[in-house]
Structure 1
Amino acid sequence: MYKVYISLIILFSMSTTQAKETNRLTVDRVVTNSIELAFPNDKNIKPKLSDFELFNYIVMSNEEGERWAVMTLNNTSSGSRVLEHHHLMALFADGNRSTPLEFKVSFRGKETQSITVSFGENKFPILSIFTETAS
């Protein structure tokens, strides 16, 4: 009977560890240059115009399909600005575009910050992330 309890404890701890492993984010890739992709955009889906320049980003995911990114952005304006989810957009491997989940981050004039945002769950990986500036 004692062996059965020990076996159950070991089995339970192994399944718990495996469940945690599928939640763990892994780095898919680091992007420092813009990538030119030619997916059609018939509905002209773009992020909202902003004063934010995207320098680079790291895309991450897990086995459950969560998509995250660490991005370094610069407020090109001399005044304070608020970066919101609709200022950014990801292009996925199936050609769909999506903004990240809702967030707000304040930037001082000319400030550069790195932030981590979630793009929710998606079957397809993120190929690129972009902003839309007026200039």
Structure 2
Amino acid sequence: MYKSIITGLMFTAFITNANENEVLNVDRSVSKHIEFSFPNNKGIRPKHSDFELINYVIMSNDLGERWAVLTLTNTSSGNRVLEQDHIMATFANGVRKSPLEFKLNFGGNEIQSITVSFGESKFPILSIQAETEI
């Protein structure tokens, strides 16, 4: 009887610990542009768009998942669609990567927030950028 109780308690502790590893923690909130000087020999940049990145919050968990809440504005007076290739993150090892696939419709001059996933990485996200057309 005691064996089954102990086994049950161990299983519950394991499940609880697994769920705790999945919880996202805020790494940092950024409202000003941050510059890093990692080499970019391939010239990897986000696709030009009418979206301006206002601010973002970087999140991660113990499983290595990397997420961000982005707040962007459509600087155009017309409707636009934000897609993953309009956004790019720079990781602590210098790798640049767009988030996983998504699409979000914006009205003219509209501001929206969206939560996006950058997949898994052992390196944290240092910065995120969008490239507004000039």
- Which bracket does the TM-score occupy, shorter chain normalised? over 0.9
Aligned to 1:100: 99
Which runs of structure 2 are paired with 1:1-135 in the superposition (5 Å)? 2-135=1-134
Percent pairwise identity: 59
How far apart are 1:134 and its partner, in Å? 1.5
Please tell me the residue identity of whatever aligns with 1:35: I
Please report the RMSD computed on the Cα atoms of aligned residues, expressed in angstroms: 0.6
CA distance in 2, matches of 1:15, 1:103: 33
Q: Which ranges of structure 2 fall in alignment gaps of 5 or more residues?
A: none
Describe the SS at the equivalent of 2:69. Answer: strand
Question: Structure 2-normalised TM-score?
Answer: 0.98
CA distance in 1, matches of 2:35, 2:18: 37
Please tell me the residue identity of whatever aligns with 2:40: N
Q: Which runs of 4+ in 1 moved over 4 A?
A: none
Please tell me the residue identity of whatever aligns with 1:115: I
CA deviation string 1:28-50 (max 9, x = no partner): 00001111111111110001110
The number of aligned residues is 134
How far apart are 1:3 and its partner, in Å? 1.1
Q: Which ranges of structure 1 fall in alignment gaps of 5 or more residues?
A: none
